[in-house]
Structure 1
Amino acid sequence: MKRSEVTDKPAIDPYDDPTGGWGSVKSLVEKSAQEGLLASTVWTTLGHQNKADGYQCASCSWAKPAAPSPFEYCENGAKATMWEITPKRCDRAFFAKHRVSELLEWTDHELEKQGRLTTPMTYDASLDQYVPITWDDAFRDIGAKLNALDPKSVVFYVSGRAALEASHMWQLFARIYGSNNLPDSSNMCHESTSVGLPESIGSPVGTVTLDDLDVCDMMFFFGHNTGTNAPRLLNAVQAARKRGAPVITFNPLRERGLMRFKSPQNPIEMLSPSEGTKMSSDYYQVRVGGDIAAMTGIAKALFALDDAARVNGGARVLDTAFIAEHCHGFESFEAFVRDAEWEEIARCSGVPRDELEHVARVYSKAERVIANYGMGLTQHRHGIENVQMLCNLLLMRGMMGKAGAGISPIRGHSNVQGQRTVGITEKLDLIPHAKFEEFYGFTVPKEKGLDTVEACEGILDGSVKGFVCLGGNFSRAVPETERIEAGWRKMQLSVQISTKLNRNHLLACENTYILPCLGRLERDMQNGVAQTVSVEDSTACIHASIGRSEPASPELLSEAKIVAELAKAAVAGRSTVPWDEWVADYGQVRAAIERAYPADFKDFNRRLGTPGGFHRDIGACRREWRTKNGKANFLTPESFDVDPDIDTTARDVLKLITVRSNDQFNTTVYGYDDRLRGVKGTRMVILMNANDIRRLGLTDTDHVDLETHAGDGVTRRVENYRVHAWPLPEGNCAGYFPELNALIPLWHHSRRAHVPAAKSVPVRILKRRAA
């Protein structure tokens, strides 16, 4: 019997307290006790988190200030630290006790809860167990297996936690081997940004820094649960609210972080009986997929305000000088917006006309506006258009390339943005391939490699034969869970470089290896010299990260060391990359990165210790548009319909949003309580509008199955989920990632960016029959 995600008495109780506050403190105390950590160890370690002379958080990628507070971490960041420094060990003895077929019945939480991996292992099919293998034998065997495969059939995946140094080495290793198959975490979340922003403003990343947040006089938030996914940003939002800046939020779910917040970093506030700061001045529960419609409504109201100003001789609402000097495509965008009907805007967005006009009036009076957004915009079929429409709103009023204004995509994993900066990409035009060939004497493959969706397609059709993962839990993070797991087992090679056991490790194929690595918090000694690594945050600032903790096992190797040894085993003599010299001194890797990317990494080693990091060369920050036409572009969407090829009008079809709890980060689940939503003891819940529950003949707490409504002949189903009434728009429902990835068709993704459309999955809710 498969272990259940549901406790004996799961419950949902309203949570009315602010985000942060004593709820966060209590949760951390409980988590440290569960991990068996001494309080002194935890708080000493956390004292170095996100500091210039310490380690950078292994959780989210939000910016790190130059003058950090003594408690420069959030609840989830602290949990990530505890998860890594746990005294629990998943060692030889553990694997000797358990068969893989048994472990497959465990939940994600139970697997990772076993603690840190300590020893290189390989799967023995005759025993159905992992058995130890020496590092030398592992590298030799993997190198031989790689050289027996066609490089085009091998995927080199990178998790968002890998440092810049290891990531740069990884992509060189893959390309010397002959593969451009370099998908990463960005493919799953923000590739819509990486495709959309360059076309709009000539930058693949945002333009906002912490300095801008300090002086803005208004913020937008679209599709981001800040309280769970980037809680330290709440301090900047709170400061803006206290100086009177409006914060206008669009999100189908009312998330606590952007409703009320009490900063754990402020002792006076913590001791106050107040309910904390009201974070959103206006909060609109836009319908799933209704963001383009809502933004069109705001733009339409702006045009009306500008028309009135011209008639009455008032100050223009639009920044016409900026548009004339810096922009292209304004006329077609204006025609689209003016032609849009208010009735259709309100129907598609779920936000009434008068409320969108109110937003436009507030926006029209602001001088320095920041637009923050998350995967609620990017994980749609029209994710790119969502991102570009938000850019259009900012360009209308010149809110780009000046202090206190700009676009702010809030990335998730701690270095996912940085990996793209140093070469992790399947797209040849995004790397300096001619330089790599000149520097290291090899020929870079010239065909496009596989992204995440294409890699999954290759797993399903059998064309992908080998999968080498630098971190992550790939099979759980992607769509089509059951089909991907079945396909994975048919591959010839699976290599997992990891710190914790996860389900992907248990999908044993012909040759399967677990290679345990150092975590970011641990001392990385090479030839007796302590090494420093680097990461990039969401605001394109580069930071040093210095591990201080004792390694979980003397057998662990660093990411860079493992990459170098794999490369030496598989591609020895095929390039002049000095693998051993780079491992002995990571500063040499940084010098190589600077050589390849001189604009972004000028004086890399000298500037690495800069408090607050040093900022990459982002032209759009100074109104330099690195687009094909040298302009910032108004890009007009085709329509308001974010799911153009699925009929979602059927009475019993709802649009599902997958979400994360405040007790998880990405696929890592720390526990079964989602405090900020009041969910206790389970993750197997479906949150639905009360009217939809009644309409479908259900009652609150009924148990249901869910099936994807895709019309492609494939059955995708999850079973025994508990229904709960929740304040979200009619026709929408929500449940947890990664469990509900099983419902996402692989082809249901952003059309050009290939990001899985996890924020708009058409599903049917089926009541379970009584036993």
Structure 2
Amino acid sequence: MAEKTKLVKKARVGAAGGWGSVRGIVEVYGAEHPVPGVYRTLFQLNKPGGTMCTSCAWGKPAKPGLFEVCENGAKATIWDLTSDRCTPEFFAEHSLADLRSWSDHDLEMQGRLTEPLRYDAGSDRYVRCGWDEAFAGIGAALRRLEPQSVVFYASGRASLETSYLYALFARLYGHNNLPDSSNMCHETTSVSLKEHIGTPVGTCVLDDFEHCDAIFYFGQNPATNSGRFLHPLQKAVRRGCRLIVFNPVIEKGLLEFIDPQNPVEMLTGTGTRLAHQYLQVKAGGDIAAIIGVCKHLLERDEAALQQGKPGILDRAFLEEHCHRSEAFLAQVRATAWEDIEAHSGLSRDDLSQAATVYAEAERVIGVYGMGLTQHVHGSQAIGTLLNLLFLRGNIGRPGAGICPVRGHSNVQGQRTVGISEKPELVPLERLAELFDFEPPREHGLATVDACEAIRAGTVKAFVALGGNFLRAIPEQEAMEQAWVKQELTVSIATKLNRSHLFPGKEAWLLPCLVRSEIDVQASGPQVVTIEDSFSHIHVSSGRHPPASPHLRSELAIVAGMAKATLTPNPRCDWDAWVADYGKVRDLIAATYPEFHDFNARLQTPGGFYRGNPARERRWQTASGKAEFTLPSVLSSLGIGDAPGRYHLITMRSNDQFNTTIYGYSDRLRGLEGSRMVLLMNADDMTAAGLYEGQEVSLVSDAGDETARQVDGLRVTTFALPCGCVGGYYPELNPLIPLWYHDELSKTPAAKGVPVRIQIGGVHGNGRAAAR
């Protein structure tokens, strides 16, 4: 059951979308043997009255197309609705020690979990148990532990209703240890945007893409990570909007798109050229690149003013709405072009061309993904992008704004309704009033903090609402060794994954419904809600019978654990909340004013907008204005260049959603058959004496005493900047030090990991390997 090892490279890679996308869906369909009626669900996905896709948080339009589903969304839905079942009999045949040799793909290919399971240490197997037994065991264990020694983690798929109750459970129990998946990807966004514009989320709405004149696009791959974004990008480019891309990796989804719903494009194989300019910035070079664009704008502005012409900068906006603009402009003037070019890897001419597009555009959107957030100085990179937008007033008006592209479908919404380790972001006084208790005020543990505490032995229990935490984090080997020393681990899940194979002294595996399944409670069929990246709230309805009669909803499981753990509280009627999710939405509305009339607004086409003060140019910052960043560095990297050192970018394949591996095809990069690859610039390969297909190891070059190494990687020529190498997440996560993270948010810096190449026990530069 080990992973495939034969890599096949394709000389020619087609456009994003098109027949390749259709084939990708068909391949997963054939492998998963989905239940009958899956096509009806795909047809209703992301439409009013249908199911909201679990694969990303992209917006759902009020007037949807014939199909509002992308390749990855279809794969995720088919993956959920497989007819394969992972029953207690499977675990009777396999010990957890045996299963640890299986690949991520093969573990999940066993199908849907069907019954609650308890870990039996004597046989090293999960065994069948009942729900009452599970809740009683979990409750008893949690009551024995100090609340501060317990972590409640949440993946980004759980509904608003479940997320609200999960956060309430944690605080009633006595802690704010509520990390979620955003800690590993977009927490840098939440921290940086909050500091600089007063809101932790983007300012754009879906309609803005119909009015923008230019899009400056940083470190995100829509074809793999948010496929439905390609449609508004294509429409924008067709009407004259210019797309300027900054990315070390040339992604096909930003070069050309063939709309699978357009018969002419499908028949002719002719799509839309997307990027007006594609700039292969060095890993971590975005701050320098943006300052280069700003420097050209300032030079052009000052030249225009000297000639008596109107300036380029929006001085009215800067004077009325911004703080520290002059300090930033002085910093831009003082930054030499030589330093900008060296740190960005881009020429002055290329950056000047990008700046010209920006100057000529009336309305500009800044889009970014984890290429900006997952760096040691990622917060400064986001702040510098905001600076660029501030210069011409591109925040707080239609067709302009900042647009982080989120991953999990409700990861933003979870934060909105209370899943946060930061007590200052939660209306604790309102919770105290509603539920008659004193909420904990101590700052909780985020992901990196939780990992450090588990290794130190101060965290004794970990409850996971979804996800594959152990596979997604840095320092995997060390974390696996520490994980099993915990007193209790609880996993709410739909399929088996690697995290489940490292149980605590007591461990429970609790299977739940997926979003596309019918959820019937005492008051009848239930619906749930999610928040997209544009702060719109959508209702989702399941249509398929549950995979097993033993499954329970995530909300019911959370309520069951809470009832078994907490002292009864007359203000907390867990049974009533499970019976009718509408009562939970009433609680959300009572806690968060922007959710007023929640139940009455459920069926709003395109979702209802909960609002964003920065979009209205109301700056809830320390100064009451939009805050310019004064970057202290020109590179987002925490560890700079050195002879023989490379900066590793981890990435997802086209056949992947986070740690879920659908297959071994990375079609849009021309790679098939293996995930154990090291992508490398051809000139770097020659300089290091490497050849195509050579097997090498990567070792950490972080400068500490910890040995980190990944073996069995095949060197593969790929168009990357010199000094930069690429490989797949999560296979290369062991190379990321736990301490190597964004300075403000502690988001792991997975897009610029310092590494060296080892060949047969010797590094590529000839030095002996540190082991």
Instruction: Give the TM-score range, shorter chain.
Output: over 0.9
Q: Secondary structure at the match of 1:281?
A: strand
2:721 corresponds to which of 710, 725, 729: 729
| 366-375 vs 311-320, greater mean Cα deviation | 311-320
Q: For residues 131-181 of structure 1, give each alpha carbon's deviation from its aligned partner in whole angstroms, at most 9, with x where no partner exists.
A: 011100100010000011111000000000010000000000011111110
Shift of 1:415: 0.4
The one of 306, 312, 318 aligned to 2:313: 318
- Which residue does the alignment assign to 2:27? 30
The equivalent residue for 2:621 is 627
**Retained in 2: the 8 A contact 1:290–1:348?**
yes
SS state at 2:166 partner: helix
8 Å Cα contact 2:281-2:289 kept in structure 1: yes
Q: Aligned pair in 2 of structure 1 residues 578, 624: CA closer, same or farther (>3 Å)?
A: same
Per-residue deviation at 1:14? 3.1
CA contact (8 A) 1:60 1:413 kept: yes
Cα distance, 1:574 vs structure 2 = 4.7
Q: Measure, in 2, the Cα distance between the counterparts of 1:744 and 1:552.
A: 37
1:11 and 2:5 equivalent? no
1:705 aligns with 2:665: no
**1:650 CA displacement:** 2.5
Q: Residue 85 of structure 1: CA displacement?
A: 0.4
The alpha carbon displacement at 1:769 in A equals 6.7
1:361-376 alignment, distance < 5 Å:
361-376=356-371
User: 1:114 aligned to 2:110?
Assistant: yes
Q: TM-score, normalised by structure 1?
A: 0.98
Q: Is the 8 A contact 2:34 2:79 kept in 1?
A: no
Q: What is the letter of the counterpart of residue 453 of structure 1?
A: V
* CA deviations over 1:316-335 (Å, ceiling 9, x no partner): 21001111111111011011
Cα distance, 1:691 vs structure 2: 1.1
What SS does structure 2 have at the residue aligned with 1:721?
A: strand
Q: Determine the C-alpha separation between the residues in 2 that align with 1:386 and 1:649.
A: 18
Instruction: Give the superposition deviation at 1:623.
Output: 1.0
Residues in 2 aligned to 1:258 and 1:603: alpha-carbon distance in whole angstroms: 40
Query: Which residue matches 2:128?
Result: 132
Deviation of the 1:396 alpha carbon: 0.2
SS of alignment partner, residue 548 of structure 2:
coil
Unaligned runs of 5+ in 2: 763-771
Distance 2:305 2:240 in 1: 29
- The partner residue of 2:285 within 290, 297, 310 is 290
Q: Deviations over 1:570-618 (max 9, x none)?
A: 00325622211111111111110111111x2121111111111111220
Instruction: Give the 5 Å matches for 1:660-739.
Output: 660-739=652-731
Give the distance between the partners of 1:89 and 1:318, measured in 2 at CA: 60
* 8 Å Cα contact 2:13-2:669 kept in structure 1: no
**1:537 counterpart letter in structure 2:** D
Q: Deviations over 1:716-765 (max 9, x none)?
A: 00101000011110000000001111000000000110000000100001
The residue identity in structure 1 corresponding to 2:726 is A
SS at match of 2:732: helix
- Choose from 551, 563, 570 the match for 1:556: 551
Q: Does the aligned pair in 1 maintain the 2:374–2:749 contact within 8 Å?
A: yes
1:101 matches 2:97? yes
What's the counterpart of residue 156 of structure 2?
Answer: 160
Q: Distance in 2 between matches of 1:353 and 1:344?
A: 10
Give, in angstroms, the shift of residue 528 of structure 1.
5.2
Q: Per-residue displacement from partner, 1:384-426 (whole Å, max 9, x unpaired)?
A: 1011101000000000110100000000111000000000000
The within-5 A match list for 1:454-473 is 454-473=449-468
Matching residue of 1:760: 752
Which of 414, 417, 424 aligns to 1:419? It is 414
* Residue 5 of structure 1, CA deviation: 2.3
SS at match of 1:642: coil
3-state secondary structure, aligned to 2:37: helix
Report the Cα distance in structure 2 between the residues aligned to 1:759 and 1:382, rounded to whole angstroms: 11
Change (3 A) 1:209 1:14: farther
Aligned residues of 1:689 and 1:727 also touching (Cα < 8 A): yes
Render the CA deviation track for 1:16-70: whole Å, top value 9, x for unaligned: 31100000111111211111237x6332220110011011001011111111112
Decide whether the 8 Å contact of 1:191 with 1:755 is kept in 2.
yes
State the AA in 2 paired with 1:57.
C
2:573 corresponds, among 578, 581, 597, to 578
Residue 489 of structure 1: which of 474, 484, 508 is its match? Answer: 484
Cα distance in structure 2, aligned partners of 1:33 and 1:754: 40
1:442/1:574 contact within 8 Å kept: no
Quote the residue 1:544 is aligned against.
539
CA contact 1:14–1:677 (8 Å) conserved in 2? no
- Alignment CA distance shift 1:15-1:429 (3 Å): farther
2:612 to 610, 613, 618: 618
8 Å contact kept, 1:32–1:42? no
Match of 1:212 in 2: 208
Q: Distance in 1 between matches of 2:641 and 2:378?
A: 21
Tell me, yes or no, if structure 1 residue 21 matches structure 2 residue 21.
no
Counterparts of 2:536 and 2:293, CA distance in 1: 32
Contact 2:87/2:115 (<8 A) preserved: yes
Please give the alpha-carbon distance, in whole angstroms, between the structure 1 residues aligned to 2:581 and 2:238.
43
Which amino acid in 1 is paired with 2:4? V
Q: Which amino acid aligns with 1:624?
A: R
Instruction: State how far apart, in whole Å, the 1-side matches of 2:11 and 2:365 are.
Output: 31
SS at match of 1:391: helix
- For the 8 Å contact 1:176–1:575, the answer to whether it is kept is no
Kindly state the Cα deviation for residue 99 of structure 1 after the two structures are TM-superposed.
1.0
- Is the Cα–Cα contact under 8 Å of residues 286 and 635 in structure 2 kept in the other structure? no
Query: What is the CA distance between 1:442 and its match in structure 2?
Result: 1.2
8 Å contact kept, 2:2–2:101: no
Distance in 1, matches of 2:526 and 2:641, equals 57
Given the two structures, how large is their TM-score scaled by the length of structure 2? 0.98
SS in 2 for 1:521: coil
Pick aligned residue for 1:42 from 27, 38, 41: 38
CA distance in 2, matches of 1:262, 1:384: 35
Name the CA distance, whole Å, in 2 between partners of 1:671 and 1:294: 36
Query: Could you tell me whether the CA contact under 8 Å between 1:441 and 1:575 is conserved in 2?
Result: no
Secondary structure of 1:232 counterpart: helix
**1:622 Cα offset (Å):** 1.3
Partner Cα distance (2:308, 2:264) in 1: 49
> 2:343 matched to which residue of 1?
348
Count matched residues.
762
Task: Provide the residue aligned with 2:119 in structure 1.
Answer: 123
Q: Please tell me whether residue 146 in structure 1 is matched to residue 142 in structure 2.
A: yes
Among 563, 568, 571, the residue aligned to 2:563: 568
Paired residues for 1:44-63 under 5 Å: 44-63=40-59
For 1:79, the equivalent position in structure 2 comes to: 75
Instruction: Output the CA distance in 2 between the equivalents of 1:475 and 1:10.
Output: 27
Q: Which letter maps to 1:42?
A: V
Offset at 1:515? 0.4
Q: What is the alpha-carbon distance in structure 1 between the residues aligned to residue 570 and residue 4 of structure 2?
A: 53
Structure 1, gaps ≥5 residues long: none
Task: State whether structure 2 residue 182 is matched by structure 1 residue 186.
Answer: yes
Determine the C-alpha separation between the residues in 2 that align with 1:687 and 1:463.
Answer: 39
Residues 442, 575 of structure 1: 8 Å contact kept: no
Alignment of 1:234-633 (within 5 A): 234-274=230-270, 276-527=271-522, 529-574=524-569, 576-598=571-593, 600-633=594-627
The SS at the match of 2:27 is helix
Letter in 2 for 1:300: K
One-letter amino acid of the counterpart of residue 148, structure 2: K
Distance 1:704 1:526 in 2: 54
- Aligned partners of 1:108 and 1:669 also within 8 Å: yes
